Amino acid sequence: MLGAIEAGGTKFVCAVGDEKGTIIDRIQIPTTVPEETIPKVIEFFKQYSIKAIGVGSFGPIDVIKESPAYGFITSTPKPGWRDFPFVNKLQEAFSVPIGFNTDVNAAALGEAKFGAAKGLDSCLYITVGTGIGAGAIVQGKLLQGLSHPEMGHILVRRHPNDEYQGKCPYHHDCLEGLAAGPAIEARWGTKGDQLVDRLEVWDLEGYYLAQALMQFILILSPKKIILGGGVMKQQQVFTSLNRYLKEFLNEYVSLPELTDYIVSPGLGDNAGITGALMLAYQAFQEEFIH
């Protein structure tokens, strides 16, 4: 039995399951402050005899094992969670190996193992929701350097008719600042799910996402691109994104049919929690097998 946590800005999903991705039990806990949320997480897992825990967390987080702040959520603006020692708190309650990575890296892992990129040694998972983030698997491993990638904050060329200043507190008009859910809401005055019939909204969304995907394709050459998150529930974004991407790339690289290449998560909303189970399994293997 393995434990998994998908820690999001609005809710925590906790699950127990196995290394085949089977989920046996799960709960959802609202993300309020650590003093309130974490005891509920612990209480849930205490019901089971778990051998390892995997965490896919909102971030930024410290994923470098040698770092003094390993296992911390670092510079989040979310009240109470800045510099929160996530792994340490779990370790105090459970003396089992703990795998810790970003929510999007977990989702990339879940999709590569059991979802839309099953059997591939390379894929890119991007979420377009409250923020924009991405996790990449390159040559069978999660891409990591000094830290985890932060692909949602790349700079994009502004649409000549777009006067919205951008919502990223760090960079204003980076990709997240122009194209995440809150930017859509601020630019058009209504939440995305109320803007279904406004073609210009999704055309512009495709314009920005296509630029980002072009960079990611040119740099990482992923074998599959998976787009999840609330905003991507608007299937029409895929259409405009594909059209712009074709135009921007101008046949410079040869790609599979875009409708097969750029897809929704095969695991649906379970990509992250399934990936967190995989992180738990990896942590278990590292501790007891290698």
Binding residues for Zn ion, rule: CB under 5 A, are 153, 168, 170-171, 174, 176
DSSP 146: S
Which listed option, ligand ADP, Zn ion, none, makes contact with residue 48 (CB within 5 to 8 Å by class)?
Answer: none
Whether the CB-CB separation of 19 and 281 falls below 8 Å is answered with yes
Which listed option, Zn ion, ligand ADP, none, makes contact with residue 174 (CB within 5 to 8 Å by class)?
Answer: Zn ion
Question: Which amino acid, one-letter code, is at 77?
Answer: P
Whether the CB-CB separation of 158 and 207 falls below 8 Å is answered with no
Nearest CB to Zn ion, comparing residues 170 and 288: 170
Among candidates 78, 93, 106, 103, which has minimal Cα distance to 38?
A: 93
Q: How many CB atoms lie within 10 A of CB 43?
A: 13
List the x/- string, 103-142, binding to ligand ADP by CB under 6 A: --------------------------xx------------
How far apart are the C-alpha atoms of 155 and 208, rounded to whole Å? 10
| 3-state secondary structure at position 279 | helix
Nearest CB to Zn ion, comparing residues 153 and 223: 153
Nearest CB to Zn ion, comparing residues 167 and 224: 167
The reply to whether 85 sits near ligand ADP by the rule CB under 6 A is no
The reply to whether 227 sits near ligand ADP by the rule CB under 6 A is no
Which listed option, ligand ADP, Zn ion, none, makes contact with residue 168 (CB within 5 to 8 Å by class)?
Answer: Zn ion
Element housing 56 (H / E): strand 53-57
Whether the CB-CB separation of 129 and 272 falls below 8 Å is answered with no
Whether the CB-CB separation of 167 and 186 falls below 8 Å is answered with yes
Nearest CB to Zn ion, comparing residues 6 and 176: 176
CB-nearest residue to ligand ADP: 181
The reply to whether 59 sits near ligand ADP by the rule CB under 6 A is no
Which residues form the interface with ligand ADP (CB under 6 A)? Answer: 8-10, 129-130, 181-182, 185, 191-193, 229-231, 233-234
